[in-house]
Amino acid sequence: MPKQLELFPGYAPPEPRIVPRSEHPISRRMISREALKVLYRLHDAGYLAYLVGGSVRDLLLGLTPKDFDVGTDARPEEIRRLFRASRIIGRRFRLVHVYFRGGKFVEVVTFRGPEDLEEEEEEVYGTPQQDAFRRDLTINALFYNIADFTIVDYVGGLEDLRRGIIRIIGDPDIRFTRDPVRMLRAIRHAARAGFEIEPRTWEGILKHREKIRLCSPYRLRDEWLKDVTGGWSEPWLSLMFKSGLFREIFPSYHRTLVAFPPTQKFLSRLLSVSDRLLSEGQLSQAEALTLFLYPYLLAHGFGKPPSRPERPTREVEKRLLEILGSYRFCRELFEETLLLLSSLLYYRYFVLKGKTPPRKLTRKSYFPLLLRLSEIIFPREKEFFNLEVSLPKKKKKRKRRGHA
């Protein structure tokens, strides 16, 4: 019999709250066709098949999930036998990707057992209840059972969702120590949904924030990149700053924002615009990163108008490495962001001087992006730094007179 997960001495996990289909809004029409195929094939084979994690949370909030993950009591090898187009991935804890046409896939995870046994490098499987208590936040531990279309709640996630509360599951001291990235996820979901972090969880973040530096730079990069480019970066920045996590992850940027308060307000304003455009699907990752990084460059030698027009690519790269050194993302994204930032500063020279930019710049394929970013950045830069900025007016096409 699987060992029960003890969150703290004397704690007995409660019976789950089962919400029937008539009392919740989730319909199968809201679930992807691929996920439904996986759920039903597992169910028909006699296994438990639950929709798990963030997809259930998002459906209850009226949002469209980015992906649909499935939890089951079937082992990876059993899942693999059920789905021909699938692959087992992972080493310490294996899961299965089931593939569909168009590059789509559904991630299928076997219910996990107690966390303390996994520390002994065993592959520990468990019950749905144990798996729920292994998850990070109560609102991320809700299950949708395809067998009867009920929602299963072991941790009080439904009530926290109703009240707009972000709560870590279990003892914050233990959970944040075992995986400090959970602090970033608490910040993310508070910022994304506009929820409040409950006091015990918040105190745990303040107490353990320095432990975030123990995490792999690659994991941290993946986490903050989601937030900067997700559409909730302005409230994320505020919570990261208040919690001290921004200082731990971006020490150089934090020192800059503290030393030059207008820079923080400028950054916040740019992120507000970025969030709106991202939510409308009108901004790329590189453009969002450009808006996030530009205020740092402005405070480090690029605020004053240059004496002559030049593209400061090397200087910009050097400054970016001060912030992103160990968080290097894919080369293509880094180079596109570097190109936009250095070109923007080059174009800025002509804007500040009231001159027409050279044709070698205006003919570039990325110049329309440059114009759009300048229309976002430069007027707000003028507001916070009292610069004389006059964006060039768009030329009206002249009507050609007909010959008599």
Burial annotation 333-354 (CB, 10 A radius, 16+ → b, else e):
bbebbbbbbbbbbbbbbebbee
Per-residue pLDDT at 5: 42
Does the pLDDT of residue 398 top 70, yes or no?
no
Range with the poorest average pLDDT among 215-219, 299-303, 373-377: 299-303
Per-residue pLDDT at 13: 56
Per-residue pLDDT at 131: 95
Averaged pLDDT score across all residues of the chain: 89
What is the pLDDT averaged over residues 304-322?
A: 84
Q: Are 34 and 28 in contact (CB under 8 A)?
A: no
Range with the poorest average pLDDT among 129-133, 252-256, 257-261, 385-389: 385-389
DSSP assignments along 50-71, one per residue: EEETHHHHHHHTTPPPS--EEE
The predicted model scores a pTM of 0.88
What is the pLDDT averaged over residues 256-280?
A: 94
Does the pLDDT of residue 65 top 80, yes or no?
yes
Per-residue pLDDT at 120: 57
Range with the poorest average pLDDT among 184-198, 272-286, 382-396: 382-396
Nearest to 98 by CA among 53, 150, 32: 32
What is the pLDDT averaged over residues 135-142?
A: 97
Range with the poorest average pLDDT among 67-76, 90-99, 136-145: 90-99
Burial class (CB in 10 A: 0-12, 13-18, 19+), 249: buried
Indicate if 69 belongs to the active site: yes
Per-residue pLDDT at 23: 96
Does the pLDDT of residue 197 top 60, yes or no?
yes
Indicate if 44 belongs to the active site: no
Nearest to 185 by CA among 163, 161, 162, 169: 169
Per-residue pLDDT at 308: 74
Indicate if 73 belongs to the active site: no
Range with the poorest average pLDDT among 77-91, 103-117, 361-375: 103-117
Does the pLDDT of residue 386 top 80, yes or no?
no
Which long-range contacts does 376-382 make (Cβ < 8 Å, 24+ apart)?
376/270, 376/273, 376/291, 377/270, 377/291, 377/294, 377/344, 378/348, 378/351, 380/266, 380/269, 380/270, 380/273, 381/266, 381/298
Classified as helix, coil or strand, 108 is strand
Higher pLDDT, 140 or 353: 140
DSSP assignments along 241-253, one per residue: HHHTHHHHH-HHH
Q: Which of 58, 136, 153, 275 is catalytic?
A: 136
Nearest to 84 by CA among 97, 72, 95: 97
> Distance between CA 28 and CA 36 in Å, rounded?
8
Does the pLDDT of residue 67 top 70, yes or no?
yes
Higher pLDDT, 309 or 145: 145
Q: Are 293 and 320 in contact (CB under 8 A)?
A: yes
Say which DSSP state 143 is in.
Answer: E
Per-residue pLDDT at 306: 67
Higher pLDDT, 402 or 83: 83
> Distance between CA 367 and CA 261 in Å, rounded?
31
